Amino acid sequence: MNRLLPFWPVAASEHAAKVDWLMAGFSVLCFALTAPVFVLLALFAFKYRRGSMADRTHRPSGNVLVETSWTVIPFLLTLAFFVYAANLYLNLGRAPADSLVIDVVAKQWMWKFEHPGGQREIDDLHVPVGRDVRLSMTSQDVIHSFFVPALRIKQDVLPGRYTSLWFNANRPGVYDLRCSQFCGMDHSLMVGRIYVLNPGDYAAWLQRAGASGDLASQGKALFDTLGCSGCHAPQSGVRAPSLDGLFGRPVPLADGRVVTADDQYLRDSIVAPNRDVAAGYPPVMPTYAGEISEEDLLKLVAYLKSLGAGPSQTAPLREPSP
């Protein structure tokens, strides 16, 4: 691509190429629907200008057949593109079950990444080429948005909630990451880079980046230092629910509802334990809101997930509920 006058962005995934085709195809339709209007406006303005000798007999002032056709036909043509676009979009919400999951924490004005092996990065993200990667994202403060133009994907990153996004980059290279939701003073500096690496380079990077234990074992250490095990260990004197095998299982609540113990539930039970109290247990757990950073919450959740899994662990990620 011409470096001086870029016209079309690089496409680094199959999804990106499909979005480009959608855009191109729809542009052709728009041109086909509009060109006659522009040509006729100019033609009529010239031919029927005041004082011209054009024939002005039998002037129409309405025609139901014409009205119906220019109402219905363009709409039906547009619907074909609507279906294709909606399918692509819904697919963005269905990450393959065996995706590599990377946790993302956004904060004013940086991106933090936590790999499952415990590697941590800021503003740079290294991923393998040709592999499904799912980002599980949350924000420490305001709303941000994770935008990678080369992948044609974008997802807002919300405080207090996990949103996710997945991609499969098919072209090794370095691509821009930009925050696209206005997030305060240095919004335009909240940028980063995605390094899409060949498998060999990726393995070497994982090695080089090193880590003191994977995410779950870092979570275990936190679990002990924060004193969680004081109540939640089987031999504890306090009556608190056991957390073994909790992830993915249905949890009956004190108010009669039943929720699934997913990432969001585990996180919320730490920062707002009185919101969804498990049935049969007194609501005695103190809140950890404001005391544990989102990164540490991710580690704790990773540890809880590692304690054996319930039957539905591999179920696709739940749609965020309002």
Q: Which of residues 38-97 bind another protein (CB under 8 A)?
A: 38, 40-41, 44-45, 48-50, 54-63, 66-67, 70-71, 74-75, 78-79, 81-82, 84-86, 88-90, 92-93
> Is residue 120 close enough to count as binding another protein by CB under 8 A?
no
Instruction: Using CB under 8 A, pick the residue from 32, 37, 203, 221 that binds another protein.
Output: 37
Q: Can you tell me which residue has the tokens 């980059």?
A: 169
Backbone angles phi, psi at 24, to 5 degrees: -65, -45
How many CA atoms lie less than 13 Å away from 145 in the CB half-sphere? 13
Cα separation, 36 vs 43, in Å, equals 10
Residue 137 CB, nearest distance to another protein (Å)?
10
- Amino acid residing at 126: H
Do 180 and 89 form a contact (C-beta atoms < 8 A)?
A: no
Backbone angles phi, psi at 52, to 5 degrees: -75, 165
**Which residues 191-210 are close enough to bind another protein by CB under 8 A?**
none
Of 156 and 201, which CB lies nearer to another protein in the complex structure?
A: 156
Backbone angles phi, psi at 200, to 5 degrees: -65, -45
Find out whether the peptide bond into 205 is cis, omega within 30 degrees of 0.
Answer: no
Residue 195 CB, nearest distance to another protein (Å)?
17
Instruction: Using CB under 8 A, pick the residue from 13, 99, 119, 163 that binds another protein.
Output: 163
Element containing residue 30 per DSSP (H, E): helix 14-47
DSSP 256-270: S-EEE--HHHHHHHH
Of 55 and 256, which CB lies nearer to another protein in the complex structure?
A: 55
Residue 1 CB, nearest distance to another protein (Å)?
10
258 contact partners, CB below 8 Å, separation of at least 6: 250, 251, 252
Residue 285 CB, nearest distance to another protein (Å)?
17
> Is residue 224 close enough to count as binding another protein by CB under 8 A?
no
> Is residue 159 close enough to count as binding another protein by CB under 8 A?
yes
Instruction: Using CB under 8 A, pick the residue from 105, 150, 169, 300 that binds another protein.
Output: 150
> Is residue 142 close enough to count as binding another protein by CB under 8 A?
yes
Of 70 and 281, which CB lies nearer to another protein in the complex structure?
A: 70
Instruction: Using CB under 8 A, pick the residue from 14, 17, 28, 34 that binds another protein.
Output: 34
> Is residue 281 close enough to count as binding another protein by CB under 8 A?
no
Residue 153 CB, nearest distance to another protein (Å)?
6
Reduced to 3 states (helix: H, G, I; strand: E, B; else coil), residue 108 is coil
- Given the rule CB under 8 A, which of 34-42, 124-132, 237-245, 254-262 is the region that contacts another protein? 34-42
Do 162 and 264 form a contact (C-beta atoms < 8 A)?
A: yes
Cα separation, 182 vs 108, in Å, equals 10
Of 79 and 203, which CB lies nearer to another protein in the complex structure?
A: 79
> Is residue 287 close enough to count as binding another protein by CB under 8 A?
no
Cα separation, 163 vs 28, in Å, equals 34
